[in-house]
Structure 1
Amino acid sequence: MKRLIFLPILSILFLSFTVSAQEELDKEEGTLKKFVEIFTIHPNKKAAAADSSLYPSKIILAPIINYSPETSWGFGVGAKYLFKMRGSGDETRTSNMPLSAMYTLENQFILFSGFEIFTNREEWMIYGNFIYQDFPRLYYGIGRNTPTENEEHFNFNQVLFEPLLLKRIFTKHLFIGGGIRYNRVYNVKPKENGILDEQIFPGSSGATNIGLELAAVYDSRDNILNATKGWFMELTHGIYGKSLGGEHRFNLTRLDLKHYIKPFKNDDVLAFQFKAHISHGDVPFNELALFGSQEIMRGYYEGRFIERHLLAAQVEYRKKLIGRLGGVVFIGFGDVANRFHDFSIKNLRFSAGLGLRFLLEKRERLNIRLDWGFGKKTNNYYLNIAEAF
């Protein structure tokens, strides 16, 4: 109850802050720029000043303060490296390498780096992520109808590394290639005599999974961090076995499809996303699909429902309100299933919500976001940097 009272107050404070900040920016736009510049490093500032063909790369440092139901309040430090390789011009989009370290009030530690790097003229793309986390999490059991009263905590450590090398082929925005995916979960500590402690299934006490991945990425977005038009499609198919050192044999297919349009003759954006997680074989616990997150099906706790397969979609309308202040409304629907043919329209779960945006960095359209998502008998707040998708 305290959280439900406190977080609406946070929304009011956030709105008051952004509006008052905008009033100040109306008087002097340079104020925020100067503030952001304090936390910005320009690695090639002198070289870019002397050579106009060089992209002025930057490393934006910032303290991290965010909130989600999975982490409670999180505090840490982050860096976002934005750059282009020497010789790249306007035909090459900005490469993005974030790195963040965060500790949360749920006694979690998370180290994350994602990367999307383009070579000159986008002939090649290096794509992937790295995660280390010491992460207590809520667990309700496996299945699409697990009751709320099943809720229990369990702890685990995870190391995930997924580098992909892709070559542009056939058309301007299509990249095809592959790589390797390493996912290790260990030090699993379930609640004594709880559901997870008593259940026995592949990977319930931890597992190491190593697979070769085939990947295709189509990316025509005009901006990686906050697109206003274009398509993004990431399709990966991983084949996991024991020959590379893994413990389980299974196949995992993942699809992330996004589309962005400007429906009117203004800066409003309509964004669409569809996600699928399809697994077959001896699938371990740490590779099952998690329903709910701060990115899709907002309002549901991440992992509220766990199963082999997941299908989910969402639509978000993004509107510029005044100056740097914007607002969004969104709706999502999806479900998990043990067998693919068990999916049914009548079983879909829905989520909806609204949010505020404050433009932190104009050139890359980097926003601070505050979302309030609702699901069936649940609602949650999310405070973070960058869009949900």
Structure 2
Amino acid sequence: MSRTLSVLFILVCYVIQGQSQQVDQDSIKNLRLNILPVVFYTPETGLGYGALGLSTFRLKGEELSTRPSSVQLGITFTSKKQFLMFMPYEFYLDEEKWRFKGELGYYKYFYNFYGVGMDSREEDKELYTADFPRFRLAAYREIFQDFSIGLGYEFDGYHVLEPEPDGLLDTSLDIIGKEGGTISNIGFLALYDTRDNIFHPTKGWYVEGAFYHSARWLGSNYSYQKIELDTRYYQQIKGNVILATNLFLGTRSNGTPFQDLNYLGTKRTRGFDNRRYLDKNEVSLATELRFPLYKRLKGAVFGATGTVIPSLDQTFKASYKGAVGGGLRYIVNKKEGTRLRVDYGISGDGGQFYFTINEAF
């Protein structure tokens, strides 16, 4: 278990699964709701408690053969007066010709900071607290089968940011964003998506490219650009055994605030402490084998490798870090395939537990 969770880890959940029903026929149909209470403890947060919820539905006029829209909601409080509220969403309209996805959130929480680069040291770890709202929106229009283009917007209001006094973040002169500020970016998007299911793909491709530019005319305190390429492939190799692969490339320009740098420790590289390694550029590769166990219970084993680097020309001579792990999934909605996910990933830096909804990628 990681140092962060070395004292005690408690995770208790159960599912309240709503029955399929038609609600407000003028707007929403086939609404299904799942609620998951959560309790946990870490030294940094103290006792934490809250709930995760997932609803799936189809909007007016959408056929049952189309992909379902979904809204997730997580609310967590801790005994140390921390608070998280996040609501990812995805909507499909006009027979999937329009797709909207994003997130609404508010975070008052602690985050780790080790410094920048793959040579950052474990002993330099410190915590900083941040209090900020978040808004994400990406709107896509299909221009031919399976291929869409769109616009995106990102907002984070880091106006309350408290580093440890005289710590690495507080005393570093070259860390952009340590004083707090507004991230306000507008982007151009392209998406190729042939997955057979958005919650548990068994075959197909998902390739998303994004270019974002910080928009001072929208209130950004920073001036930078970023490009991301997220490529996923799914293949059913035998029976219900699925091989999923995710290659991610991300690059940021000079002027990027440290809160928006690329980092290892995401769902792609499970096993690292969150934001353990961060820099302007990321190259990571993850693969996962998913297989049935018993009725609604599924299993998975995964591995990943990745690096963060100051410039892309160092890609092939950079130091790469690896992680492996496994986990369980429990299907809470057999019709749509939504599921609970519990994973444990191990790297050279220790291990991490993950408890959330749906697959990592």
TM-score, scaled relative to structure 2: 0.89
C-alpha contact (below 8 Å) 1:68/1:381 kept by paired residues = no
Are 2:58 and 1:108 equivalent residues in the alignment?
no
Q: Percent identity?
A: 26
SS class of match (2:30): coil
Aligned pairs for 1:301-316 (under 5 A) are 301-316=273-288
Amino acid at match of 1:270: L
State the match for 2:58 in structure 1.
84
- RMSD (CA atoms): 2.8
State the match for 2:333 in structure 1.
361
**1:242-298 superposed Cα distances (whole Å, 9 cap, x missing partner):** 22211111101122221111011x1111111122221113111221112113x1211
Work out the CA distance in 2 between the residues paired with 1:279 and 1:221.
29
Q: More displaced, 315-324 or 216-225?
A: 216-225
Are 2:257 and 1:279 equivalent residues in the alignment?
no
C-alpha contact (below 8 Å) 1:66/1:383 kept by paired residues = no
**1:287-326 superposed Cα distances (whole Å, 9 cap, x missing partner):** 1112113x12111011111111111110000110121222
CA distance 1:215–1:46, shift in 2 (3 Å): closer
State the match for 2:147 in structure 1.
174
Are 2:353 and 1:386 equivalent residues in the alignment?
no
SS class of match (1:59): strand
Work out the CA distance in 2 between the residues paired with 1:301 and 1:151.
10
Number of residues of Structure 1 aligned to a counterpart in Structure 2 = 357
**1:214-263 superposed Cα distances (whole Å, 9 cap, x missing partner):** 01122222222222122222221111142221111110112222111101
Are 2:18 and 1:40 equivalent residues in the alignment?
yes
Return 5+ residue gaps in structure 2 as ranges: none
Aligned pairs for 1:1-389 (under 5 A) are 3=5, 39-40=17-18, 44-45=22-23, 55-65=29-39, 74-104=48-78, 107-170=81-144, 172-200=145-173, 201-264=175-238, 266-293=239-266, 295-344=267-316, 347-389=319-361
**1:86-112 superposed Cα distances (whole Å, 9 cap, x missing partner):** 222244211111122112466531111
Work out the CA distance in 1 between the residues paired with 2:201 and 2:42.
23
C-alpha contact (below 8 Å) 2:307/2:318 kept by paired residues = no
Amino acid at match of 2:261: L
**Higher Cα Rg: structure 1 or 2?**
1
CA distance 1:135–1:331, shift in 2 (3 Å): same
SS class of match (1:344): helix
TM-score, scaled relative to structure 1: 0.83
Greater helix share, structure number: 1
Greater strand share, structure number: 2
